[in-house]
Structure 1
Amino acid sequence: MTTPDRNRKDLDDIFGEILPETTSDERDPEPPERDTDEWYERERPPHHDR
Structure 2
Amino acid sequence: MTSDSHAPVPGPDDQGREPASAEAIRRKAAEAARLARIFGDVLPETTGDERGEGSGGAGGDEWLRSQVPPHHG
TM-score tier by shorter-chain length is 0.3 to 0.5
After TM superposition, the score normalised by the length of structure 2 is 0.37
Larger helix proportion of the pair: 2
After TM superposition, the score normalised by the length of structure 1 is 0.45
- Which of 1 and 2 has higher RCO (CA within 8 Å, sep 6+)? 1
**Larger Rg: 1 or 2?**
2
